Structure 1
Amino acid sequence: MSTLRTDYSIERLHERQQGKLPDLLGVRVIALKEGSLTAELTVRSDLLAPNGFLHAATVIGLADTSCGYACWAHLPQTARNFTTIELKSNFLGTCTEGTIRAVAKSVHLGRTTQVWDATVSVPDGKTIALFRCTQMVLY
């Protein structure tokens, strides 16, 4: 079973995202601990769909980034990286402003695969999406 690596920090994750999609979305990691990671982003007009509501891709971007960063921080010591092999999301609500938060939690931290669940919510605690992804650990 993998555990949280001491060589990964919130600062290191933020450095790695510079100029990449998580940076464009405005993802901010706010907590990293054993078996979980919490991140958020501020909803902006350019992250909305043409119908005026939060674009599903924005929600998936936050959830997938949260799970991916958590996976990175929990890779086995001899692993060199990971890649997503499956993801799924269910949308339960939406928003048009404010901040959304994703809490990623480990379900399985194996030597060859990891499974992560993320719950995306708005500030009042209402869940707007449930997300699951499976990561293949690369050696």
Structure 2
Amino acid sequence: MSIWFNIVTLEDCARLDAGMQGKGTLMQTLGIKITEIGDDYMVATMPANPAVHNPLGIVHGGANVALAETVASYAANFVVDFTRYYCVGQEINANHLKASRNGELTATAKPVHLGKRSSVWEVLIRNSAGELCCISRMTAAVVER
């Protein structure tokens, strides 16, 4: 059974992103893309390259958190009636488990809790080899328009 308020497609995500073109959002700067939508999950990718590295030459922990919050926020906003509500990140944490240098990071967001005023999302980030690099949890506040 689908968790989405309406049927959601990659085109819907692209349309939302296209509305922000030219605004220099963090999502655009980091190259984050929504790439897959299932009945109860959403997936985003981000290149692991020098643009997101820290001085040690590995992916900056903040880039992992930005990827996690992006995919969880997109997912949270498609769970609610977007004509009446929108969702914003209220709290996020992350455990960085394995350093990444190159390739692509893939983040999968799944709901832990879907409530009237908040939702909680678990995000697993894996490297190109499929190894778990980061576990994040984000709480999204549901706000009336």
- TM-score of the aligned structures, taking structure 1 as reference length: 0.90
Do structure 1's residue 27 and structure 2's residue 29 form an aligned pair?
A: no
Aligned to 1:80: 85
Aligned to 1:90: 95
Question: Superposition RMSD on alpha carbons, in Å?
Answer: 1.8
Helix, strand or coil: the match of 1:106? strand
Which residue identity does 2:137 align to in structure 1? R
Aligned to 1:127: 132
Unaligned runs of 5+ in 1: none
Task: Quote the sequence identity (%).
Answer: 24
Take 1:72 and 1:10, find their aligned partners in 2: how far apart are those partners? 14
Helix, strand or coil: the match of 1:62? helix
Q: How many residues align?
A: 138
Contact 2:30 2:51 in 1 (8 A): no
Take 2:14 and 2:29, find their aligned partners in 1: how far apart are those partners? 12
Helix, strand or coil: the match of 1:60? helix
Deviation of 1:122 (Å): 0.7
Contact 2:69 2:89 in 1 (8 A): no
Deviation of 1:78 (Å): 6.1
More relative contact order, 1 or 2 (CA 8 Å, 6+ apart): 1
Contact 1:76 1:111 in 2 (8 A): no
- The verdict on how the C-alpha distance between 1:21 and 1:15 changes in structure 2, with shifts beyond 3 A counting, is farther
